Amino acid sequence: MSHIIFYEQPVPLNKDEHKNLCIKIADDLYSFSRKTNSVPLAGVEFALAAKEYCIVFTKAAELIIPVALLGLRNDENLFVGHDNRWDAHYIPAFVRRYPFILAETDQEKDKKTVCIDQTFAGLGTDGRPLFTQNGEPSEFLNNAIKFLQDYQAQYQRTEIFVNRLKDLELFTEIRAQVQLPNGQSLTMGGLLGIDENKLLQLERTKALELFRSGELSWVYAHLLSMSNMQKLGERLVKKDQIPS
């Protein structure tokens, strides 16, 4: 199985091997996400995410992926505190689905299998059971699987959105810059944003198509979210002032 962000030892969920395991639900179990400065976002999340995160687009090989910026330096998530709690009202679905994931295994390349990260701190004998005494998926696990399936569908829907933006040639390279109180500035390159001037110059039929698809609201959520970049700098200053 290929490496996936957050997941150190993802294995297929098995009712025999994992029949006695439970998932602990707590607010202080986000240490798994401490060393990432961005996570993918689905378009349907933009409206809520834009209130707290800066939403940009990044290139991954031939793909362009929308992400929520979580930090300004490599391997640093400014939304997870020393207490391992997530410091924001909205938590991206990419984070909330952990420790579960739909992934291809070495045995079944063309099929998505429900997997779980064995290194998750909340995995043990206390909490929400994964399976019933009869070996059937518990209500908790069924809800988790439904969440994974919904996420997968939204991820595919977001790919369509991104491809539409590419076809309309609306992407432009951006350099995110934050001015810190001490006079230092931090710059992040390799990012893409939507060019609002090009958006306003779209042909009527193409603009109408973007509007009727519901994706125009996603575009403006992204544009509005850029004002959160400076807030990331404020989080960084606050974190550096707190003793480790």
pLDDT tens, position by position, 58-115: 998 889 999 999 998 889 999 999 999 999 999 999 999 999 999 876 555 567 899 9
Q: What is the pLDDT tens value at each position of the chain, 244 positions in all? A: 344 789 999 999 998 999 999 999 999 999 999 999 999 999 999 999 999 999 999 998 889 999 999 998 889 999 999 999 999 999 999 999 999 999 876 555 567 899 999 999 999 999 999 999 988 999 999 999 999 999 999 999 999 999 999 999 999 999 877 777 677 777 788 899 999 999 999 999 999 999 999 999 999 999 999 999 888 988 888 877 665 4
CB 199, CB 171: distance < 8 Å: no
103 is a domain residue: yes
3 is a domain residue: no
1 is a domain residue: no
4 is a domain residue: no
162 is a domain residue: yes
Number of domains in the chain: 1
Boundaries of domain holding 235: 10-241
pTM of the model: 0.90
Question: Residue 230's pLDDT is what?
Answer: 85
Question: Residue 28's pLDDT is what?
Answer: 94
Cβ neighbors of 106 (< 8 A, separation 6 or more) are 1
Other CB atoms within a 10 A radius of the CB of residue 39 amount to: 22
Other CB atoms within a 10 A radius of the CB of residue 36 amount to: 19
Cβ neighbors of 239 (< 8 A, separation 6 or more) are 78
Question: Residue 2's pLDDT is what?
Answer: 41
